[in-house]
Amino acid sequence: MDHPLPSPRRLVITWALLAGLTAVSLLAAGLDGNTHARILGFGEAAVVVGIAAFKAQRVLADYLNLRTATAAWRGLFTAFLVLIAAMVLGAQAAVLLGVGV
């Protein structure tokens, strides 16, 4: 089975997108040079986790060439990303609500 590799142009565009989204995540988390630790609000955490999940999907699709895999494999990896994001957001909500403290 022959799977075409992603073009260098596609990889560079993906890299630039990932770098840009890292900056957006930092801004969304309020990390503007202030070194004091704080707990993110749920909205901020949702933005950061959503960006992280999207970035993970791009790495899987372009750098690991998952875009050429079968729909079943793509669906499985997408389901894992959604599950991980939901678990992280659930943990963040528990922290904010004081559950288990």
Give, in order, the Cα–Cα distances in Å from 15 to each of 11, 56, 67, 68.
Answer: 6, 12, 16, 19
**Euclidean distance between CA atoms 84 and 20, whole angstroms:** 22
Residue 20 lies in a domain: yes
Residue 1 lies in a domain: no
Residue 93 lies in a domain: yes
Residue 2 lies in a domain: no
Residue 44 lies in a domain: yes
Residue 17 lies in a domain: yes
Q: Report H helices in 5-101.
A: 8-28, 42-58, 71-97
Instruction: Give the max Cα distance, the chain.
Output: 53
Residue 3 lies in a domain: no
Which domain, by its residues, includes 28?
Answer: 8-97
Q: From first to last of its 101 residues, what are the pLDDT tens digits of the chain?
A: 677 899 999 999 999 999 999 999 988 887 666 666 678 889 999 999 999 999 999 999 999 999 999 999 999 999 999 999 999 999 999 999 988 65
The count of structural domains within the chain is: 1
**Euclidean distance between CA atoms 8 and 35, whole angstroms:** 37
